[in-house]
């Protein structure tokens, strides 16, 4: 969720279930359940299991819009990994007001009696305030960005779930798409759609406004907790799911 938003988190849930033998993806992209003994799944994984059979692309899109994905985002907010959309918007508006105030000083200096040196001083004040507030317009907090950086350090092509978490199914690694590395049929991969950073996420447009695709994820089963989405949504385990370097943005492929 942190690395790529709700779409990425859903991709991680799907791939982790495939790896566990609970799902299979046909050549034409239909995701279906595989009968097996009862197991404990995260809420997002349970949603995926309850939503099949379904084409892969539709399943990822449905998971990104699900209440389970939104609940995961709220858990990330409560744990200090993501800022609320309202907080991000407030800082952005404050920055705009600073800028408008500086533009107003220019008009005042032209048509009024404001000394021109005050305009220069105002410019430097605005630049200083913009630099000071910049970290707060990003959806991920410092802790959230650290979690995404940790994910990058553990990703190798043989670790399939963290690979999806970091890059998304439509991402590229070592000259190949991730879906190719995973052995997914091209017809099945064609059902996926590349999501904009702003699509339902707050990671990048972000884990602050809708996480997320968060785009970079930490959602599945991490060292924090193996049984709930919240426990796994910020650590760099197999559940970490806009690119691995960004914030929560769209889903796979960002």
**3-state DSSP percent of the chain in helix, strand and coil, to 5:** 50, 5, 45
State percent of the chain over pLDDT 90: 38
Predicted pLDDT of residue 170 = 93
User: Pairing state of beta strands 30-33 and 54-55?
Assistant: antiparallel
Asked whether the predicted pLDDT for residue 94 surpasses 80, the reply is yes
Name the pLDDT band for 164 (thresholds 50, 70, 90): very high
Q: What is the mean pLDDT of residues 94-117?
A: 85
Q: Higher-confidence residue: 25 or 203?
A: 25
Residue 127, phi then psi, degrees to nearest 5: -60, -40
Name the pLDDT band for 195 (thresholds 50, 70, 90): low
Strand order in the sheet with 54-55: 23-25, 30-33, 54-55
Asked whether the predicted pLDDT for residue 62 surpasses 60, the reply is yes
Predicted pLDDT of residue 240 = 35
Predicted pLDDT of residue 203 = 41
Predicted pLDDT of residue 218 = 35
* Contact between residue 156 and residue 11 where contact means Cβ atoms under 8 Å apart: no
């Amino acid at each position: 969720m942190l690395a790529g938003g709700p779409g990425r988190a859903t991709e991680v849930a799907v791939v982790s279930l495939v790896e566990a033998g609970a799902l299979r993806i046909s050549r034409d992209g239909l995701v279906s359940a595989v009968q097996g003994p009862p197991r404990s799944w995260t809420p997002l994984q349970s949603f995926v299991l309850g939503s099949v059979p379904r084409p892969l692309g539709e399943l990822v899109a449905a998971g990104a819009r699900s209440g389970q994905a939104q609940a995961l985002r709220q858990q990330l907010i409560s744990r200090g990994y993501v800022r609320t959309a309202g907080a991000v918007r407030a800082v952005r508006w404050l920055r705009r007001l600073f800028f408008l105030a500086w533009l107003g000083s220019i008009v005042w200096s032209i048509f009024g009696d404001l000394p021109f040196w005050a305009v220069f001083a105002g410019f430097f004040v605005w630049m200083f305030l913009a630099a000071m507030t910049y970290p707060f317009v990003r959806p991920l907090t410092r802790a959230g960005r650290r979690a995404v950086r940790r994910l990058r350090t553990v990703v190798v092509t043989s670790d399939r779930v963290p690979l999806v978490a970091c890059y998304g199914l439509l991402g590229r690694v070592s000259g190949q798409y991730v879906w190719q590395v995973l052995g997914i049929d091209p017809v099945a991969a064609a059902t996926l759609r590349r999501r904009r950073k702003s699509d339902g996420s707050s990671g990048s447009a972000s884990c602050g406004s809708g996480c997320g695709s968060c785009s970079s994820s930490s959602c599945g089963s991490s060292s924090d907790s193996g049984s709930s989405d919240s426990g796994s949504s910020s650590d760099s385990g197999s559940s970490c799911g806009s690119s691995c370097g960004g914030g929560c943005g769209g889903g796979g492929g960002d």
